[in-house]
Amino acid sequence: MRTRTFAWFVAPSVAMMLVFIAFPLVSVLVQSFTLTQPVIESVTVETCTPSFVGQNCIQETRRQPVLDENGAIVTQTRFVGLDNYATLVEPGRALASLGSLNLDGLLAIDFWRALRFTLYFTLITLPLILVVGLGLALAVNNVTRAVRGPVIFVTLLPFIITPVIGALAIRWLFVGDGILTRLLEHWSGRDIFMFAQAWTIELLMMFYRVWHVAPFAFVIFYAGLQGVNKDAVEAALIDGASRLQRLRYIVIPHLMPLIVFVALIHLMDAYRVFEEVIGFRSEAYVISLQYLTYDLLMPDNTGNRAINRASASSMLTMIGIVILLIPLLRHTWRQHRETR
């Protein structure tokens, strides 16, 4: 393909990536190092009230935002360096809590509370999704062709459901007098309040993520199983290899690139967990880094939004994703160099 033809093919994608990814990313990065505040001016206001002998006038000085000719508040932006990050992370308070081994004090800071749940949620659900997805793929691959189609359809249903709708459905099954809560109460003989504690909400959120995303891993692994070398499997059978040995030495090495791919996708998606927090209404107990950014963007009682701190939170979230992806990317790069 000629260079000019290739450029025409690539130009639309590059333009879209610049407009919708690169430019917003640079804008967020710049905003995380700046602080935008309204321009405040002091105005002397005289208030007069009528009285019997005349008027009583009182002068008071008020501070109010400056308005432009269109009635909009005039703002000014200044460079503040890492102040937004420091305000968000509160390093002095965090170090003091760690120094006194006061984890409750550390988790009282919104950022560290959100980081704890985000890491737990990501690192616990990752192996579960890989194991459940691989197990489903192996099971479906071994069933008869007559029922394979319906089984695949039923397995993919959780992945088709909209994330927020699925989270709400799981919540309704357990909240209050939900069906599953009533069954658990009947079986245990005691009252159960699934949404009264943070750890039960976290378990339900992780259960929902595995239930929702495992079908995606199943599809990838099931497609990969169709390319397994049948001659190698038959040779292993002749040599007396057990099912577990065939899985360990033949199937998993063949699926390893797909396992790394699913892990990469899940890490990027789970570290930005947001739908579960909204669907389970867990913000009073559990928040994520993505929800923290959303909360900072919401207007406060005066109508102001902490856009600069939200930008800093977004950048820290991206840095966390990159750190988690480095081991997998190094593994992929090492395999790529070995196969060259």
pLDDT band of 133, cuts 50, 70, 90:
very high
Residue 39: name the closest of 63, 55, 56 by CA.
63
Element (H, E) at 45: strand 40-50
Looking at the predicted structure, is the pLDDT value of residue 191 above 90? no
For residues 21 and 31, what is the distance between their CA atoms, to the nearest angstrom? 15
Torsion 194-200-201-204 (CA) sign:
negative
pTM of the full predicted structure?
0.82
| pLDDT value, residue 264 | 93
Query: In Å, how far are 44, 58, 60, 63, 233 from 48, measured between CA atoms?
Result: 13, 6, 11, 19, 96
Looking at the predicted structure, is the pLDDT value of residue 321 above 70? yes
Q: Where are the alpha helices (DSSP H) in the chain?
A: 3-17, 23-32, 83-89, 91-99, 103-107, 110-142, 145-160, 163-174, 179-188, 198-225, 230-238, 243-246, 252-270, 275-279, 289-297, 307-339
Count CB atoms within 10 A of the CB of residue 336: 10
Please indicate whether residue 199 or residue 115 has the higher confidence score (pLDDT).
115
pLDDT band of 288, cuts 50, 70, 90:
very high
pLDDT band of 303, cuts 50, 70, 90:
low
For residues 264 and 113, what is the distance between their CA atoms, to the nearest angstrom? 24
Q: Which two tokens stand for residue 90?
A: 């509160």
| pLDDT value, residue 302 | 64
| pLDDT value, residue 291 | 92
Domains of the chain by range and CATH?
A: 111-339 (1.10.3720.10)
172: left (phi over 0), alpha (psi -120 to 50) or beta: alpha
Residue 279, Cβ density class (10 Å: 0-12 exposed, 13-18 middle, ≥19 buried): buried
Query: How do 55-65 and 75-79 pair as beta strands?
Result: unpaired
Count CB atoms within 10 A of the CB of residue 10: 10
Looking at the predicted structure, is the pLDDT value of residue 190 above 80? no
